[in-house]
Structure 1
């Protein structure tokens, strides 16, 4: 029989663990709508409200897309007490009223600032006003802060200091606010951003609405202003699986699903649009690598293919799996990339990407992926079940990613 003091100790430990889990910010990758790709800095409170209404009506909030993230362009400067204020023409009711509107619909509000004097688009930022701005955001009932790095020094030490200062300010604000470190991966934030107080960190420069830059190997896409496509972003983020987990996520930037080459930020630098097969691949790959799912198309006017891709419950469940493991790339050769993601129920998700320009057949034993024995397969896109097998043998279209849930 277990001694009573030990039982009480175990119960206390379990209670503390449960409380820690409950209080953990971003226990799974955040999901929602981010304004930048569609609206740029031309954003207002009515846009936010109409988008929130559409997200509820489309069932996106019920599926987990609970945030609306207001990106750059909401700011109206500072008042006579140096409090940051919203643009009175864009947000005449104020941010707090907007947060109340979203909260009434079961949603959360994200906002944006920068670790310099001005933001990327030239608006008021937070350097030197971290404590004051954090308290302001908390008073507005904001739930998430994306903190950019335009106009800041390039060295890592300064970045760590500036992000830590804002993280401390948020922690002292009186409200739990998820903190997104957005310094574009140039200072390897996966090595320090969580310790600095971040719950997610951008691993790359901005994504564009295209499959790939199609640039010669070794080309510096940023310096050449070519722009990163889905595949270019994947190549960077796929190597960082060991750094992701509950409360701390690699962020490969927004979903471009459904933008169809829209002009604006995502349309710059060759962002001419991708095919629906490529959009489905992004949704598949981002879910396999446990990425935040930040949609950026016009939810109010979605076509059926976009809706189908963004509302697939099985692929969302893979992204949001509470075990919090980023899928590991176990094959990366001969135009094939294969990812294996352990799931909390002891099962696995496997993704097979064909990067070539033609349809190909993929043949491989599961043992070569590190999976011994036989598994039942569910194709999460076609919903087709396959009987137990120890092999994968499938036709894969050009730029398609097949995703299977494997169970014993």
Structure 2
């Protein structure tokens, strides 16, 4: 009898362990706020604490924005044992104390490094110190690593090798740390980043605060440019495997800085709302970068729309498929866990237009009840939708079968 009980206990232990191993990190797209677009590398622990307080007070944490990500510029070099240290002027209390503060607010802390000797902004990075840095991050209580690819070779084999080395180091660090592969999509990380240990991967160059890139510089991407790359990658997304379309620029209004470079002179609230709609239905991480301490009403309304966020965070984990793409109209379809369907209708043109969409065109049979997720009300019942869409506006509906 004693042997039988021991065997049953062993089997239960193995079952629990197996369940833990098969539950992915980042089962839904990460949500939070990142320092880069607002502060660039001019960051201080006081800023992080203030943003954490503001995220709680504003309702962002309650809405699901649980991460604060410290981007490039926090590093202070290495100590006499080659351990990475934060800049003592910027982070005088140390990173562990800051992580403890963020955790006390019910949030998680992310940090940044690069798969080369130096980061994009020229600070100390992690090449050759992957295991040591991963253990350091774990000892601080870090929950997420954004791993960039500046100053690194352009070939795919090197990228896979370097990202895999850090992915392995994070797994051995003793702490669950979500791993964001920030290679900018040039080497098609959707094919290899998950196997390298990543839970999400950037699919494009950095987003700028503008609707569309009108220059010849491919690193000056606006919302539409990123959309057109990310839209075709739906087959690679799922729980713990996300196509990262880069940060939200909602509420920046052309602020000088990284997102304001290369023609990023700002957008109107209709366009910001479109980014929120499109990033949500594409299951991209929702990473705000505005000044959360001073948000106007429009920015609050866009970032805190819980019905829109629910589409992004739906546990089925499907990225929407673009079913219509004709130069004027884009229509995306995303199945949801409870059997509902989310539909996004984007007017890409520069003037308002009327549109009629039959659900049968999208492969949806029968009649549906529509809910407008921005108006927070019903939008009719039937086999089609007909309405007017403003220039650069995205209508977002939730359809329930009747």
TM-score, normalised via structure 2 length = 0.95
2:254 alignment counterpart: 261
Residue 280 of structure 1 pairs with residue 273 of structure 2: yes
2:235 alignment counterpart: 242
2:161 alignment counterpart: 161
Residue 221 of structure 1 pairs with residue 218 of structure 2: yes
Q: Supply the distance in 2 between the matched residues of 1:381 and 1:192 (Cα, whole angstroms).
A: 36
TM-aligned CA distance change 1:287 to 1:102, over 3 Å? same
TM-aligned CA distance change 1:257 to 1:234, over 3 Å? same
> How far apart are residue 386 of structure 1 and its match?
2.9
Q: Supply the distance in 2 between the matched residues of 1:272 and 1:72 (Cα, whole angstroms).
A: 23
For residues 176-191 of structure 1, the aligned pairs below 5 Å read 176-191=176-191
Residue 329 of structure 1 pairs with residue 326 of structure 2: no
CA RMSD of aligned residues (A): 1.7
> How far apart are residue 334 of structure 1 and its match?
3.8
Q: Supply the distance in 2 between the matched residues of 1:385 and 1:299 (Cα, whole angstroms).
A: 31
> How far apart are residue 18 of structure 1 and its match?
5.5
> How far apart are residue 214 of structure 1 and its match?
3.0
> How far apart are residue 160 of structure 1 and its match?
0.2
Q: Supply the distance in 2 between the matched residues of 1:178 and 1:277 (Cα, whole angstroms).
A: 32
> How far apart are residue 15 of structure 1 and its match?
6.5
Q: Supply the distance in 2 between the matched residues of 1:221 and 1:80 (Cα, whole angstroms).
A: 41
Q: 1:382 aligns with which of 369, 375, 389?
A: 375
> How far apart are residue 392 of structure 1 and its match?
1.5
TM-aligned CA distance change 1:85 to 1:12, over 3 Å? closer
Q: Supply the distance in 2 between the matched residues of 1:340 and 1:309 (Cα, whole angstroms).
A: 21
TM-score, normalised via structure 1 length = 0.94
For residues 33-72 of structure 1, the aligned pairs below 5 Å read 33-72=33-72
> How far apart are residue 383 of structure 1 and its match?
1.4
2:123 alignment counterpart: 123
Long gaps (5+) in structure 1: 1-10
TM-aligned CA distance change 1:220 to 1:271, over 3 Å? closer
Q: Supply the distance in 1 between the matched residues of 2:199 and 2:360 (Cα, whole angstroms).
A: 34
For residues 185-224 of structure 1, the aligned pairs below 5 Å read 185-215=185-215, 219=216, 221-222=218-219
Long gaps (5+) in structure 2: 1-11
TM-aligned CA distance change 1:268 to 1:129, over 3 Å? same
Residue 407 of structure 1 pairs with residue 400 of structure 2: yes
Residue 348 of structure 1 pairs with residue 341 of structure 2: yes
- Secondary structure at the aligned position of 1:322 is classed as coil
Report Cα offsets for 1:59-116 as digits up to 9, x if no partner. 1001110000000000000000000000000000100000000101100000000000
1:26 alignment counterpart: 26
- Secondary structure at the aligned position of 1:323 is classed as coil
Q: What is the number of equivalent residue pairs in this alignment?
A: 392
> How far apart are residue 13 of structure 1 and its match?
11
Report Cα offsets for 1:159-193 as digits up to 9, x if no partner. 00000000000000000000000010000000000
2:8 alignment counterpart: none
TM-aligned CA distance change 1:174 to 1:18, over 3 Å? closer
- Secondary structure at the aligned position of 2:307 is classed as helix
- Secondary structure at the aligned position of 1:193 is classed as coil
